[in-house]
Each structure stands twice: as C-alpha cells, then as structure tokens.
Structure 1
Amino acid sequence: MAHLKINYFSNALLKDCQMDVLLPQTTNDTTWDKNLLNDLPVIYLLHGMSDDNTSWLRKTRLERLLKNTAVAVVMPNADLSWYANTNYGLDYYTDIAEELPKVVHEFFPQISSKREKNFIMGASMGGYGAYKIALSTNQFSHAAALSGAFYPDGQNKILESFRPKEYWNGIFERKNFDNSQNNLMHLAKQKLACTEDVPKLYDWCGKQDFLYQDNQKFISELSQIGIQVNANFTNGKHDWYYWDKFLEDILNWLPIDYLPEERLC
C-alpha cells in the first residue's frame, strides 16, 4: 500500500485540513486487475474523540491487513466535532460528508464514485459519524461502527463527563436534538421515508464497554422500524485492542475482495 498525507483546503471550514490516504500500489508481487484499479472501492475511516486522522494507522494493523486487497482508505481529521455542523460556526459535517468525497475524486480519479463501492466506518465518535453520514446521504452502501457512540445527547453520563457542558452545547442544539440531523433515529426514519436504499449496517461493541447498553438499545430501535443490523456483541472494552481485533471482521463483511495475509498458525 502507498501511504499519502494530504493537506487540502476546505471550503466548508475555510481552513486547511488533513487526511491520510492508503492506495494499492502495483508491484512485482501484485496481480490486481487493471480495471479494478481504475474503479477502486473506498473506505472512509473516521476517528473518535481522543484521536485524529493518523490514529487508525498508528494503533491498528490496518495497512498490513489490506496489503493484498485492492481498496483505497481515506482517513480525514474531524477534530472534536462529532461530524456536525457545530453551533460555533464550523461546518464539519459539510466538510466530511459532502465536500471531502468530491476532493477525493478530484485528487484520485481512480477511486470509484459509485455508491456500491463507497463504504464508511469508524470507532466511538467515528462510529456515530459513519452511521450519521451514511443515513443522511446517498453516498455509501455500507456503514460500520465499533463501539458506536450513538447517543451524544446527554443520555450517557460517562460520555457526557468527558467534556464540560459548554463543549457539548457548542456542538449540538440539545433542546431540538430529537428532530435534528444529529439524531441517528431521526435520520433512520427519514431514510426509510424516502426512495433511497438504506445502507447495510454493521455494529460491534464489547459487553464491558460503557457504550454497550447504548449499542443494544440503538440496534433494537432500528430493528423495531425495520432496519436490521449485523450486530456482534462480545467481551471487550472501549479500547483500540478490541477495535483492531474486530477490524478484520468488517473487512470480511464489506463487498470487497479482501485477501487476508498468510497465517501459518
């Protein structure tokens, strides 16, 4: 895989932004079909609250796992935004959900713009962002979350304690949260009401994670309105060890020609 660090200007944020990109590179050891390389599937990989665009590369086996697979990976930086158009005037949702795919296809025309070849996933805040963007646009056919923080509206007191109330009020309009574009259930119901296809969804959360009950509740609520999720709840905590461990499950779930590395044990 080739690893590229990209600085680009965001019209939505009116500032320079960063993303890391992995691209399959043709070498003497690869046998990829040239047609596939000219219409590459792509995974948009979102980070959590304490992380940035480099975290997936620094804390998981991502690049090594994908070394034999013809897929691109885009890892943008969203700061502490919750992938929202914030109350303090910085439109991170517009940047990541609407502008970034256009920038990616401008810079890398070999990356497919087809919905069936565009996927989005993330951990914690990034899992919330992945579902949010997949449900509010028609850009992505698959979305996956690891320990998704699906209720950033104050219901989860542990999550709420990570930042002061001034921070949360700067991100979300709490009084109108239920009927806003930041409420995942509201987005899910909107998606069902329109003619667009509902993206396929995957969710993993550990039973010792402080978000476990939130994940169970959210998956149940989706099921009640007719949206089924490929859910996997096992032992595990809110930790990169487990997100790295279950990353490969998502790669196997996605409709890509994932070719695992050779393992003799």
Structure 2
Amino acid sequence: MALLTMNAESRFLRTNQAFSMILPDMPRALEPAEFYRERQDLPVVWLLHGTYGDHTDWVRKTNVERYAARKGVAVVMPSGLNSNYSNWSRCMLGYDMYDYVLRELMPMVQEWFPVSARREDNFIAGLSMGGRGAIKLAVNAPERFGAAAILSASPRDFATLTPEYLAGDDPVSARFAGMVENAGGMSAFLASEENVWRIIDERAASGTLPRLLFASGADDDYVMNDLRPFREHAATLGLDATFFIGEGYTHEWDFWDLAVREAFEFFGLPDVEFDAV
C-alpha cells in the first residue's frame, strides 16, 4: 500500500490541516505507466479517530492498512482534534469540522485522487468520538455514503440532557454542555444536525439512510448504556441496522482493530487477488 500524508490550508478550519490516506499498491502484473495513467474510481472509506487522537491513530494502532489492501480500497483519515466533528464557528477564527469533511475534504480527495464519488463506493466509519461523527455525517448526508460503521458510539436521546445533567462536572456532561452552548441553546441544539436520534426517527422509513453497523465491546458500559436503548428504538422504527457486540472487550484498540475489519466486511467490499510472490 501507499501511505500518504497531505497538508493543506483549509477554508473551513482556518488553519493548515493534515490527513493521511492509504492507496492500493500497483499489481505486479501491470506496467507502472499503465497503472498510474488510469483513473481507477476506487472505493473509499472515510475513517475517523476518537478523542485525543489524530490522523495517524488508525495506522499506528490497528492493521487497517492490511485490511484495506485485502479489499483494494482507499482510506482517508482526517484529523478532527476534539471537535466531535462539529462546527465551532466561534472558536478562535472558526473551526468548522463538519463542513470541512463534507464541503472541502471529500471534494478535494474525490477530484485529486483516483477515487469514486459515487454513493455506493463511499463508506464512513469511526471509533468513539469518531463513531459519533460518522453517524452524524452519514444520516445528515445520506446521498454521500452507501454505508456507515459506528464503533464504540451510539445515538442518544437528547431528551435526557436535563439542565441538572448538563451542569454536572464529569467530562461527558461538560462535553454535551459545550455542544449545547455552541449551538445557541437547547432548542437550537435539538433542531441541528447534532440530533442524530431525531434525524433517524424522521428518515428511517424513507429508505434514504445508508446501511448502518453499530459495534461495541460487550463490557464497554460507557457505550452499551446508550446502545441498548437505541437498539430497541431502532427495532421499533424498522431501521436497516446491524449490531456487532464483541464479548470480553471494552473501550480499547484491540476491539477497534477487530471492529474495523468487521466494518470492511459489512461494507460489502470484495477481496482482491494478490500477485504471487
């Protein structure tokens, strides 16, 4: 595989930004000029990291490069800081990560690299914070993605975000309080693209949503406490969703390595034939 790191100034992040990208190797049976001349329209997986991470996480901590090689796909891994893949227009000069992914990163990659822009060839996945980003992007822009894999994350019914909860001093409460404030208050927050539970409710019956995979470690109480009620709710909606629960795993890289491999299978990507060595 080819592993690239690209740095470019971003209109939506108001800063220089890096992302990593995996591209398939050239088959040994082909001449280089033949392989690199053709626009290949490769399938592409948009892969999001979690809190405290960056664009190098997936390559450094999992075998995603081998999984991508097996499927012959491109993988794009942006840096999202701790943004929740949300727009933070009042942060410094502005840091609009949600818009960056949809309106800048995807067009850049799809126009400059040999990847497909077709919905059926584009897939999104992420772990923890990246899982929340993946489901948000997938249900708000369903015309962009054929399927999404949400690893160690779950939609949450924001009706549970009471003022008392938001005033709590634990990190999760503080994060939600910041998101509500950023949106301009609870009413605006509930009406925004952040409210994935509401959006799924509104679109589940339309047949327009991507296929969805939700994966969690069975011992990951942080996630399972939200995923169990969402799974029951999804069943009442008739949502096209698959659930993968890893016995004996918590919120950990051993599980995310397993889960991203499961995601590649869920996306329906066929294995490619390797050249004999």
TM-score scaled by length of structure 2: 0.82
Indicate the larger mover: 212-221 or 172-181: 172-181
- The answer to which structure has the higher helix fraction is 2
State the SS of the aligned residue for 1:247: helix
Aligned residue runs from structure 1 range 92-241, under 5 A: 92-108=97-113, 110-137=114-141, 138-151=143-156, 161-162=170-171, 165=174, 168-172=176-180, 173=183, 175-176=186-187, 177-192=189-204, 197-209=208-220, 210-235=222-247, 236-241=249-254
Matches within 5 A, 1:65-76: 65-76=67-78
Q: By how many angstroms is 1:255 displaced? A: 2.2
Give the Cα–Cα distance (whole angstroms) in 2 for the partners of residues 44 and 98 of structure 1: 14
SS of 1:68 mapped into structure 2:
helix
In the TM superposition, residue 260 of structure 1 has moved relative to its aligned partner by: 9.5
**Runs of 4 or more off by more than 4 Å in structure 1?**
33-37, 152-155
In the alignment of these two chains, the number of paired residues is: 256
Q: CA RMSD in A?
A: 3.0
Residues 212 and 17 of structure 1: is their aligned pair in 2 closer, same or farther, counting only changes over 3 Å?
same
Partner Cα separation in structure 1 for residue 76 and residue 260 of structure 2: 15
Q: Structure 2 unaligned runs (5+)? A: none
Aligned to 1:253: 266
- Distance in 2 separating the partners of 1:224 and 1:37: 44
Q: Is residue 148–residue 212 contact of structure 2 (8 Å, CA) maintained in 1?
A: yes
Are the structure 2 counterparts of residues 178 and 201 from structure 1 closer, same or farther at C-alpha, using a change threshold of 3 Å? same
Judged with a 3 Å threshold, the aligned counterparts in structure 2 of structure 1 residues 52 and 152 are, in CA distance, closer, same or farther, namely: farther
Tell me the distance in 2 between the aligned counterparts of 1:75 and 1:144. 14
Secondary structure, aligned partner of 1:224: helix
- State the distance in 1 between where 2:15 and 2:204 align: 35
- 8 Å CA contact 1:85, 1:171 repeated in 2: no
Q: Does the C-alpha gap of structure 1 residues 39 and 23 become closer, same or farther in structure 2, counting only changes over 3 Å?
A: same
| CA positional deviation for 1:192 | 4.1
Q: Percent identity?
A: 30
Offset at 1:107? 1.9
Single out whichever of 146-155 and 76-85 deviates more from structure 2.
146-155
TM-score between both structures, scaled by the size of structure 1: 0.85
Q: Which structure: larger Rg? A: 2
* TM-fit CA distance, 1:8: 1.6
